[in-house]
Structure 1
Amino acid sequence: MMLPRLTLAGALLAATAAYAHETAGQHGGRVADAGKFHVELVAKGETVNVFVSDEGQKPVPAAGFKGTAILVVGGKPTRVPLEPADGNRLTGKAAAALGDSPKGAVQLTGPDGATASGKFN
């Protein structure tokens, strides 16, 4: 029981270093910095979509990326594995509805093996 909390705390602390700002995105979600990328988090029901763009807001193809969204639902961390979908979108399904603006972090591993995290308050 303590391990999931420590994992979430570690992920959120790591994401804090990568976090510079959070703004509204093209797909109706929130955008945060994640290393050299911007990630837009869009949650609807159990579905999590993450859109990846570069520093110039140009879409970055999701092919080759892996990711995990660690979101707080009902006061507990929920891990949602993310897989590439179409275009610059990674997607995953949570076990329960997330609400429209869940708090947490998105962790990405790029095709080159580099990792980045974005935090959502």
Structure 2
Amino acid sequence: MIPWRTALIGSLLLAVPVCAHEATGKNGGRMTDAGAYHVELVAKDKTVDVYVLDGSEKPVPAAGFKATAILVVDGKPARVALTPADGNRLTGQAQVPLSVTPKGAVQLTAPDGATASGKFN
């Protein structure tokens, strides 16, 4: 029997639309599409930073955004709540150290209530 959390996270990751591209961002992280936005995921030790950009890859102020990173750690989903920091950065702390290229997804809620997700393979 699959634990309900694993099934829920797995279904969320499968529900995320396939990204058009994944590239390296200006902060050294991986970047992908998330609805009308681009997001750059930077993981270092336990710190998770997500930078929000518009469709032209210009910084979007993080104030008012809410986000969660759902990353795969040792084969299990790990949720990291992200809160606005300076500029276009959302940040949070994982409970365990992460690889520099974690797999998973970032779920965003914009200040206007619109939601979007970006997937990192």
TM-score with structure 1 setting the length: 0.96
Q: Count residues with an aligned counterpart.
A: 120
Matching of residues 1-121 of structure 1 within 5 Å: 2-15=3-16, 17=17, 19-121=19-121
Q: Percent identity?
A: 63
User: Residue 9 of structure 2 aligns to which amino acid in structure 1?
Assistant: L
Aligned partners of 1:70, 1:4: CA distance in 2, in Å?
Answer: 12
Unaligned 5+ segments in structure 1 are none
Aligned-residue offset at 1:2? 1.4
User: Residue 13 of structure 2 aligns to which amino acid in structure 1?
Assistant: L
Aligned partners of 1:90, 1:3: CA distance in 2, in Å?
Answer: 28
Unaligned 5+ segments in structure 2 are none
Aligned-residue offset at 1:8? 1.2
Aligned partners of 2:11, 2:59: CA distance in 1, in Å?
Answer: 28
User: Residue 14 of structure 2 aligns to which amino acid in structure 1?
Assistant: L
Aligned-residue offset at 1:4? 1.4
User: Residue 7 of structure 1 aligns to which amino acid in structure 2?
Assistant: L
Are the equivalent residues in 2 in contact too, given 1:14–1:117 (CA < 8 A)? no
- Stretches of 4+ aligned residues off by more than 2 angstroms: none
Q: CA RMSD in A?
A: 1.0
